[in-house]
Amino acid sequence: MLAGILGHSEAAFRLPDWVGEGARTFAPRPEVALAAKGESSHILRVAQGPGGSPLWIAVEGLLWYGEKWGAAGALAAFSEKGEAFLSHLAGPFTLVLWDGEGEKVYLFRSRQGLETLFLADMGEGLLFASDEETLFREGFLKPRVGKAGWQALLALGPLRLPGHTYFEGVAELQPGEGLIWSWQEEKKIRVPLPFEYREDLTAEDAAEELLFLLRRAVKRLSRPQSGCLLSGGLDSSALASLLSEETFPLFTVSLRYEDDERHFRANPFQPSRDDPYVAEMVAWLQTRHEEVVVGPEELVEYLLPAMEARGHPGMADVDSSFLVLLAKTKEKGEGFFTGEGADEILGGYPWFRRPFSVEEGRFPWSAGLEWREKLVNPELLEDLDLKGYARRQLEEA
């Protein structure tokens, strides 16, 4: 977790109670206090930075700059590139850097967007944290969902408008977005992707480039005991194949619902059962495989913990089944690769392939608005105007 209080008269005094035990803190001034804690945080304090003034750097997630990684990689980039260093960093991460020479704080969320960073303007000062829950500790900020939050949750959820949250007064850095804070100003910055859309690529060239990027990512992230969650689909099967080049025999895990052979019904999202394809990939790659069977009672038991882990309502049983799977296998591997996110990037969902018109009045993934309206007190329906809200957001998009 990364967190901090910027520009508040009691920042250094209030930070320890706010972030709790186990955090490593840094307060270069009474009004500026920064903290990081957790196994995924890398912290570096430099007595003298490039300009001779102190630097403090904390990174959550995985960051590379050339052959260097973590906070040391961020320091190398900052020393060589100055304020432009953010565009030279790679990996899924969030970063906090205090530059003593310029008396500036850099906050940044990497382009992948896997790690999060939330902001809240308190009037006197700015709060930031890796999760929304931290913002509401110690009475700094009260969690309040206003009309706009309920509209977004009920009409668009579990997706959120870029840069927004459901809570009033809380914003989120978008992927590839940063904030430079100083006593004089707060300046948002955007770091573009290191490549642009190219129309000159043939399908074969694009496939070759994708394979290169996937193989590089697997090499960077894999560990000797890494595992892979395997569904038998293209995404997880591709990852398992690449991982098998790094680790053999690879440990793979698949999920099966109790009695699904009797109850399965094909749908556009899952046209067939996973089992035959999982078995084929396990035999082809000769993996050490384990099947986790999940029943309805466990799915229900993990619904609330899954929502709490996400921080807001999500994909219900999809989230809870994922959490059950990880809970049962987390001790058996040194991190697990999944194909999650590939459908969004590579057009795997049904709505990428069917005709769509703005006249439908909703995003193609937001079906069932009538069902959602049934959850709302009838006296509030007219004021919330969920269908009108969904149409306006679609037109703006």
Contact 103, 112 (CB under 8 A): no
Give the Cα-Cα-Cα angle 187, 190, 192 (nearest 5 degrees).
160
Identify whether 386 is part of a domain. Answer: no
Same domain? 148 vs 278: no
pLDDT at 194: 61
Same domain? 12 vs 144: yes
Average pLDDT rounded to a whole number, residues 116-140? 92
Identify whether 10 is part of a domain. Answer: yes
The structure tokens listed for 299 are 């799915």
Domain count of the fold of the chain = 2
Identify whether 296 is part of a domain. Answer: yes
Identify whether 381 is part of a domain. Answer: no
Same domain? 23 vs 131: yes
**Residue 1: closest CA among 94, 110, 106:** 94
Other CB atoms within 10 Å distance of the CB of residue 48: 11
Contact 282, 253 (CB under 8 A): no
Identify whether 220 is part of a domain. Answer: yes
Quickly state the pLDDT bin for 63 (edges 50, 70, 90).
Answer: very high
Same domain? 22 vs 136: yes
Identify whether 370 is part of a domain. Answer: no
Query: The pTM is what?
Result: 0.89
Domain of 311? 203-346
Same domain? 253 vs 340: yes
Q: How far is CA 4 from CA 27, 72, 106, 187, 373, in A?
A: 10, 21, 11, 17, 39
Same domain? 182 vs 270: no
Weakest mean pLDDT among 18-32, 221-235, 277-291, 360-374: 360-374
Cβ neighbors of 94 (< 8 A, separation 6 or more) are: 2, 59, 60, 61, 107, 108, 109, 110, 115, 116, 117, 130, 173
pLDDT at 51: 67
Average pLDDT, the chain: 90
Quickly state the pLDDT bin for 44 (edges 50, 70, 90).
Answer: confident
- CATH number of the domain that 173 lies in? 3.60.20.10
Identify whether 356 is part of a domain. Answer: no
Phi, then psi, of 104 in degrees rounded to 5: -125, 150
Same domain? 170 vs 237: no
Average pLDDT rounded to a whole number, residues 287-301? 94
Same domain? 231 vs 332: yes
Distance in angstroms between the alpha carbons of the first and the last residue of the chain: 32
Write down which residue in 190, 223, 251 finishes a domain. 190
- For residue 6, pLDDT over 90 is answered with yes
- CATH number of the domain that 242 lies in? 3.40.50.620
Quickly state the pLDDT bin for 270 (edges 50, 70, 90).
Answer: confident
Same domain? 235 vs 171: no
User: What is the per-residue pLDDT across 200-253, written as a single tens digit (0 to 9) for each?
Assistant: 889 899 899 889 989 998 998 898 899 999 999 999 999 999 999 999 999 999
